[in-house]
């Protein structure tokens, strides 16, 4: 089950975008459709210096305070949470550790963003996009996101491959420009041929999105291949391919390949100005999330 008490522990912390977002005017994005065919969302306090066009004078007459009407299409920030739900994210199988961290982190950020009236959407994907919610800032929408995240945890494991690159290319064309895009993934996709993956990340940056990549892994076994000596049968969670071997026989080659991939991924993220957050699920949720938010807060 999704631990909402843990999610709400971070509800009083501001989560800010590092780069300017499109239509940033006195703290708000302004919709090109503002004034018609929009759904009223809520009132907010009037900020000195902004347009008086949308002040609700009826509310002023009752409360003697200036409130502005806001709509679904206008918000401080648009954030899209991209959650990899392919089979490799269910590792380790005994506790689905990578997926559990990613779901809890996505729910936490969604809660923080909604608290500051930012719009958020959820996208889940494996070899195709499975869920894509609208980008909204209402409490009802937040609970719909919680429901989708909980359904991800509840569903039984089934083999599903990953198409990170293809998904990112599709979303780069569909998402509103200058959004905040947060990716939760182990990025396991053809690690010996990385050009497609890096091209997809570059495509998102070309569309002027700010990108955060939570690289979720269990380094002890996935990166360092740290297994006790003895024969094992390894099963690919995505393809179900089985391989019997002694870990020591392949450890040197395996670890070199993985470390080269992680290093290249980290270097490319630095070149593209993508925030790269290394997640070791064995360290626990709170230390990782608290450290990330503390470092981000120092940027302002």
Question: CATH 3.40.50.410 region(s) of the chain?
Answer: 76-297
Residue 281 confidence (pLDDT): 95
Residue 57 phi, psi (nearest 5): -70, -25
Model confidence over 34-51: pLDDT tens digits? Answer: 333 345 667 878 887 777
Alpha-carbon span 289 to 184, nearest angstrom: 13
Alpha-carbon span 102 to 123, nearest angstrom: 12
Model confidence over 240-264: pLDDT tens digits? Answer: 889 998 989 999 999 999 899 999 9
CB atoms within 10 A of CB 16: 13
When comparing pLDDT for 47 and 122, which is higher? 122
User: What is the pTM for the complete model shown?
Assistant: 0.79
- Residue 201 near residue 268 (C-beta atoms within 8 A): yes
Alpha-carbon span 196 to 276, nearest angstrom: 18
Mean per-residue pLDDT of the chain: 84
Residue 102 confidence (pLDDT): 96
Task: Please determine, for residue 300, whether its predicted confidence score (pLDDT) is greater than 70.
Answer: no
Residue 8 confidence (pLDDT): 82
Model confidence over 287-297: pLDDT tens digits? Answer: 999 999 888 87
Task: Please determine, for residue 299, whether its predicted confidence score (pLDDT) is greater than 70.
Answer: no
When comparing pLDDT for 196 and 47, which is higher? 196
Model confidence over 54-72: pLDDT tens digits? Answer: 888 998 898 998 988 876 5
Which listed CATH number (3.40.50.11810, 3.40.50.620, 3.40.50.410, 3.40.50.700) goes with 76-297? 3.40.50.410
Q: Which two tokens stand for residue 176?
A: 């509103």
**Sign of torsion, CA 20 300 80 279?**
positive
Residue carrying structure tokens 């569909």: 174
> Average of pLDDT values for 161-169?
90
> Average of pLDDT values for 192-199?
85
């Amino acid at each position: 089950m999704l631990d909402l008490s843990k999610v709400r522990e971070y509800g009083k912390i501001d989560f800010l975008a590092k780069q300017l977002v499109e239509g940033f005017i006195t703290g708000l994005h302004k919709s090109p459709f503002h004034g018609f065919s929009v759904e009223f969302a809520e009132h907010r306090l009037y900020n000195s210096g902004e347009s008086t066009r949308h002040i609700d004078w009826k509310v002023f007459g009752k409360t003697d305070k200036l409130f502005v009407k806001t709509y679904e299409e206008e918000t401080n920030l648009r954030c899209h949470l991209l959650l990899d739900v392919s089979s490799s994210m269910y590792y380790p199988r005994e506790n689905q550790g990578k997926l559990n961290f990613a779901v809890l982190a996505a729910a936490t950020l969604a809660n923080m963003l909604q608290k500051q009236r930012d719009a958020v959407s959820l996208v889940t994907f494996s070899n195709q996009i499975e869920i894509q919610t609208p980008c909204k800032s209402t409490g009802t929408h937040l609970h719909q996101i919680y429901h989708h995240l909980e359904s991800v945890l509840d569903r039984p494991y089934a083999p599903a491959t990953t198409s990170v690159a293809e998904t990112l290319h599709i979303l780069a064309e569909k998402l509103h420009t200058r959004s905040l895009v947060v990716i939760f993934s182990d990025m396991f996709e053809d690690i010996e041929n990385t050009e497609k993956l890096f091209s997809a990340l570059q495509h998102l940056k070309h569309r002027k999105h700010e990108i955060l990549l939570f690289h979720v892994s269990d380094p002890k076994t996935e990166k360092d291949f740290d297994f006790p000596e003895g024969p094992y049968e390894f099963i690919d969670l995505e393809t179900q391919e089985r391989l019997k071997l002694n870990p020591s026989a392949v450890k040197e080659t395996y670890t070199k390949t993985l470390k080269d991939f992680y290093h290249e991924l980290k270097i490319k993220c630095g070149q593209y100005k993508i925030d790269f957050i290394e997640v070791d699920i064995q360290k626990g949720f709170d230390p990782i999330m608290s450290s990330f938010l503390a470092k981000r807060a120092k940027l302002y």
